Every structure is written in C-alpha cells, then in structure tokens.
C-alpha cells in the first residue's frame, strides 16, 4: 500500500538524523556522521644554539705609527745655566765681526775690519760695578767734562740692548757721573726729531742708549761721532733668557752697522777707545 501522504516525512527519520547537517551520498539508506578533526599545533621548543666564543687578538701598532721620541735640542739658556759666566774680551768682538761678515766680504775686506789692540780699554772682569769700571778706564773724567763744550756730540757713549737696561745703567753710574749731563738715547720716551733739537741746544757729556736709536740720530745729522772719546758696550749683562746683547741677532746687526758708520775709522786713528763692561 502506498505511503500515506498525510504523514509527515520527518517523523519517520531516526533520532539524531534531522539534527545532523551532513548527509551521506545514500548507500543503503543509512546516514553516517562525518567529523572533521583539525590538528592542534603543538608549540615547538626552540632549540638553543650553542654560543660561539671568539678570541679577539690585540692589534699590533704599525711600525709607521710608532713615533720615535726626538731628542730635545739644547738651547743657549740650558748651556749657559750650567756654565760659569766668562768676561768678554776684545777677541770676542773681533771674532763676532768676522763671523758676521764672512759670507759677504772678501778676505781683504775682512782684514780691514781688524782693530788694533791699542784701541781697547781694559775689559770688565765681572768684579766691577758700572761706576767703578768707568772710573778705572777714565780716571780723568772730571777734567774732561769741564773742558768739553761741543754740541750735537758726546764724550762717552754706552750702548746696551734695551730701554729698560739703559735706565738701570743710568741709575747705577751716579757715583761716576756727578753733575755731568746725561741723555737717554732710546726710542721709548721721545721722538728722534725732538732728540735732535735737544742735542743742538745742550752740551751733553754722557749718552746711554740702544744702537738702533743712535744710528738714527747719526743718519739725521743729530749726533756727531768725531768728538767721542769713549765707547762702552754693556757686554756681559744677561737678560731673563740669559742672553747678552750680542747674542740677540737684531742687536748684533745694529751694532755692526753702527761700527761701520765711522766708529771703526775713529778706533784705527786712535782718537776713540772701546770698552767691554
């Protein structure tokens, strides 16, 4: 007998069939439940890699980079500080002149620079003050000073390295100079033109100054050397760097230029005497 159409078809399904969303392809009318299993990933443990140990070698300095320690050159101050001071002699002045002009003068010209021993006064043996030394080389100073009436000239000229040293020398010669007229001959305190006018008006017995200013006065006809009787170099005194006046290249150059402006000729004629204090 045919199926009753009035019956609801889902009522004849086995329990659990209607609730399953998945149906097989109909083999024998039985339905099978198919479950899909999703694999759960298992956390993998990270394998610890063995740590590598590196040995760092110290870098060797390059041969070119190694700086050899240079020897410190000895300065004149180092040498003089360890040596005993020696008084200047006429031979020292003669030798300095020859060394200075050796590259620019012929043999004959160098011989013409030689000065006779008679033109040199007794040198300071480092036991004198300036006053005592001047008294020794010029015992008749008072008589010479009284009879002197020349203008634009000097009886005695003392050459030193600086203005400060010139002031020191003037203060230290009080016992010798008495009431003699003394003039400062350096560039710090007065202009050349003003000094020329003073020399024209006054009678000056003693001059103390630097070779540069004395040269300039001679060039401008403000100072005549012919009446000069004594020329004294402040030879043995040393500054803070232990340099004598002739150790300073600029001063040495100016001194030799001054000597050639008539001093050498006066020395050779016998009218001018040189002293090394």
User: φ and ψ at 102, to 5 degrees?
Assistant: -60, -35
What does the buried/exposed string (b/e) look like for 175-190 if buried means 16 or more CB atoms within 10 Å of the residue's CB?
ebbeebebbbbbeeee
Closest CA to 233 of 130, 147, 144: 130
pLDDT in the model for residue 21: 42
How much is the pLDDT for 16?
Answer: 46
Residue 27 pLDDT: 46
pLDDT at 208: 96
Provide the pLDDT for residue 112.
Answer: 87
Give the pLDDT confidence score for residue 62 in this predicted structure.
Answer: 58
| Nearest by Cα to 96 from 261, 272, 233 | 233
Radius of gyration of the CA atoms of the chain, in A: 55
Q: Report in angstroms the alpha-carbon separations of 260 from 246, 248, 265, 271.
A: 16, 19, 8, 16
- Tokens describing residue 231: 């020329």
CA angle in degrees (0–180, nearest 5) for 63-68-73: 160
**Predicted local distance difference test score (pLDDT) of residue 203:** 94
Beta-strand relationship, 273-276 and 230-233 = parallel
Q: Report d(CA 178, CA 138) in Å as an integer.
A: 14
Q: What integer pLDDT is reported at residue 85 of this predicted model?
A: 77
Using 50 as the pLDDT threshold, list the residues of the chain that sit under it: 1-3, 9-10, 14-34
């Amino acid at each position: 007998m045919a199926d009753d159409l009035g019956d609801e078809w889902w009522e004849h399904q086995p329990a659990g069939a209607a609730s399953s969303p998945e149906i097989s392809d109909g083999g024998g009318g039985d339905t099978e439940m198919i479950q899909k299993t999703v694999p759960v990933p298992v956390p993998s443990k990270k394998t610890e890699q063995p740590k590598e140990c590196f040995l760092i070698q110290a870098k060797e300095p390059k041969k070119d980079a190694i700086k050899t320690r240079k020897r410190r050159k000895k300065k004149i101050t180092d040498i003089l500080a360890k040596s005993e001071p020696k008084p200047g002699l006429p031979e020292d002045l003669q030798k300095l002149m020859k060394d200075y002009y050796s590259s620019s003068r012929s043999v004959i010209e160098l011989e013409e620079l030689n000065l006779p021993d008679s033109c040199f006064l007794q040198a300071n043996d480092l036991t004198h003050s300036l006053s005592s030394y001047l008294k020794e080389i010029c015992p008749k100073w008072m008589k010479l000073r009284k009879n002197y009436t020349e203008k634009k000239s000097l009886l005695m000229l003392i050459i030193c390295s600086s203005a400060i040293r010139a002031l020191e020398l003037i203060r230290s010669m009080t016992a010798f100079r008495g009431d003699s007229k003394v003039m400062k001959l350096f560039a710090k305190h007065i202009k050349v033109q003003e000094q020329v006018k003073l020399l024209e008006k006054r009678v000056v017995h003693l001059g103390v100054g630097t070779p540069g200013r004395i040269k300039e006065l001679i060039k401008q006809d403000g100072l005549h050397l012919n009446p000069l009787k004594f020329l004294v170099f402040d030879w043995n005194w040393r500054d803070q760097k232990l340099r004598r006046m002739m150790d300073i290249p600029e001063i040495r150059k100016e001194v030799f230029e001054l000597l050639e402006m008539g001093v050498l000729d006066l020395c050779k004629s016998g009218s001018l005497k040189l002293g090394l204090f």
